[in-house]
Structure 1
Amino acid sequence: MHAPVFAALGDETRLSLVAKLSEGRPRSISQLTEGTKLSRQAITKHLLVLEGVGIVRSVRIGRESLFEFDSEPIEEIKEYLNQVSQQWDKTLLRLKSFVENED
């Protein structure tokens, strides 16, 4: 369920694209290519991966496609990680209690 999102975010270029798009304004492929050594084709490939897991969506404005950030999958991941963190905290507290009561 969450693995595809983690996999998509496991690439440095895609993380960079998410960071740019999370600034709040939709951007074109040429805008996202600026300042990188990547081709438009490479950026497009990465955007399609991000779009496939719902982190990015394309919006057509006139003849141009703009890409924008969708935070919902990230919020779901954040919620999941919080649950895992809470489970670990409880497990570590039980372990601590067990070790301290061994005396």
Structure 2
Amino acid sequence: MPVDRLSETFAALADPTRRAILARLALGETSVSELAEPFDMSLPAVSKHLKVLERAGLIVRGRAAQWRPCRLEPTPLKDVDGWIEQYRKFWEQSFNRLDAYLRELQATEKIRGPNKSK
């Protein structure tokens, strides 16, 4: 069965702790223990979140002696942005049509005057 990467990415992003971890990793590579500190979480608890992020391809974990660095992998986020872009275009076009309609109504009101019925 093929893996639906977009669904995995959205599932990983659904948790606020995982989003906060990604926000921290956007600042630069850090260790698992350094990630646990601001969240006041145990290493096993942080590791569970990291496994979900890693499975979704959002982070890469390494090993350098005793140091276990984690870093952000932005490619899945680019895929999400590409998917969202189609909907952004839809909403921008809808808002542009609404703006044009409102301008048309305002122009009609100026011509008719504020107290005249339609």
2:17 maps to what in 1?
13
Q: Which amino acid in the other structure matches residue 63 of structure 1? A: Q
Any unmatched runs of 5+ in structure 1? none
| Higher Rg of the two aligned structures | 2
1: distance between equivalents of 2:56 and 2:39? 23
Q: Matched residue pairs, number?
A: 97
Higher strand share: 1
Matches within 5 A, 1:17-96: 17-24=21-28, 26-90=29-93, 92=94
Q: CA deviation at 1:34?
A: 1.2
- Over aligned residue pairs, what C-alpha RMSD do you find? 2.2
Using structure 2 for the length normalisation, give the TM-score: 0.71
2: distance between equivalents of 1:72 and 1:52? 13
Using structure 1 for the length normalisation, give the TM-score: 0.80
Q: Secondary structure at the match of 1:62?
A: coil
Q: Which amino acid in the other structure matches residue 7 of structure 1? A: A
Q: Secondary structure at the match of 1:61?
A: coil
2: distance between equivalents of 1:37 and 1:89? 41
Deviations 1:5-40 (A, max 9, x none): 11101101101100000112x211110011222111
* Most deviating of 77-86 and 9-18: 77-86
